[in-house]
Amino acid sequence: MSLPTSIPTIILHRGLPGTAKYTWSPFVTKLEARFRFGNLPYQTATGSPRSAPKGKVPYITIDSDSNSDSDPSPAKTLSDSTLITNSLIEDGLLPDLNGPLDALSKVTDSGIRALLEDKLYFLQGHEKWIQNYAAMRSHILASLPYPVQVVVGYMIYRKQVATLYGQGAMRFSDEERTAMKREVWGEIGALLAESKIKATSAGAGGGKDGGGGEKGPFWVLGGEGPTEADASLFGFVVGGLVCSACPETQVIVRELPVVVEYARRIHDRFFPEYELWDGGV
C-alpha cells in the first residue's frame, strides 16, 4: 500500500509536558513507536484527559488538510491507541503491519497484545496507584498545587480501586500479583530469546526494518519487520523501565536482559534523540 502524497499535520497529545523523553504511559510510547515504524511524521503536545474524546491519553488531532489529495475533511480528534492506528491505516497514512501475516501469526500477535494490554496493564495499575500511590500522584499531577494534588489524587485513587476490583486485579494477594507479572514477563522473555536467535542467524542487516545481525532490532514474532505487537511490547517495556512508581516491574524486567536489549535496539534505531531510561542498558 502506498502512502498519500499529502500528509496532514498530526499532533500526538501525550498528557505530560516534555519532548525527547518517554512518558510513563505504555500506550503513549506504543503509539509513538507505531508512527515511527510507519515513518509517519507527527508533532507532540501536552493535552489532558479532559480534552480527549474518550477521556484518556494518548489522543491525536489531525489538521483540516485533506487525508487524501481529493477529499478535504475537517479537523478531527481521535482517541485510543488501537483505534487511532486502525483509523490511520484505513486513511492510508500508516502501513498495515499485520496485513501480510498468516492466520496463526495474527492470532499470536493479538494474544501478545491482549496479554499486555488486558492483563499486565491492570497488574501494573495496581502497582502504580495502590502500592506506590504517592509517587504516581506526584508525577501525574505535578503541574497542580499540592493541596489540589491531594484532592484530585484521592478522586483518581477511588476510581482506580473500583476499576481494579471490578476487573479483578484487586482481588489477588500481593504475592499472587507478583507471580502473575513474573509469568507474563517470563513468557515474553522466552519468546524474545527465540526471536533474537532467529534474527542473529539471518545475519547483519538481515531484516528489512533493521532486524537481524548483532545491532539491529529483532521482533517479537521473529519476522523481518515489526508487527502491532512490537509497538505494544516496546511501550510496556519502556513504560516499566522509566516509571519510578513501578519498582517491582523494573526489577522483573531488568532480570530479563533480552527484554531490555529488545527495547534498547528499538530505541537506538527509532528513538535516537530520546533520553534513555536509567541504567542505559
How far apart are the C-alpha atoms of 133 and 139, rounded to whole Å?
10
Share of the chain above pLDDT 70, in %: 89
Buried b (16+ CB within 10 A) or exposed e, 145-171: eeeebeeebeeeeeebeeebeebebbe
Quote the distance between the C-alpha of residue 134 and its chain's center: 23
Centre a 10 Å sphere on the Cβ of residue 258 and count the other Cβ atoms it contains. Answer: 17
Task: Name the band, by pLDDT with cuts 50, 70 and 90, for residue 67.
Answer: very low
Taking CA atoms, 19 is separated from 13, 106, 177, 223, in Å, by: 11, 33, 33, 31
pLDDT at 64: 61
pLDDT at 75: 78
Task: Name the band, by pLDDT with cuts 50, 70 and 90, for residue 74.
Answer: low
Taking CA atoms, 247 is separated from 147, 153, 168, in Å, by: 26, 20, 22
pLDDT at 169: 97
**Residue whose entry in the numeric block shows the C-alpha cell 519487520:** 225
Range 10-90: architecture per CATH:
3-Layer(aba) Sandwich (3.40)
pLDDT in tens, 112-136: 999 999 999 999 999 999 999 999 9
Average pLDDT, the chain: 91
How far apart are the C-alpha atoms of 259 and 265, rounded to whole Å?
10
- Grid coordinates of 127: 502497582
How far apart are the C-alpha atoms of 42 and 125, rounded to whole Å?
28
What pTM value is reported for the model?
0.91
**CATH 1.20.1050 describes domain 103-270:** yes
Domain boundaries, the chain: 10-90, 103-270
- Average pLDDT on 68-79 reads 70
Question: What is the C-alpha radius of gyration for the chain, rounded to an integer number of angstroms?
Answer: 19
**Residue whose entry in the numeric block shows the C-alpha cell 497542580:** 144
Centre a 10 Å sphere on the Cβ of residue 242 and count the other Cβ atoms it contains. Answer: 18
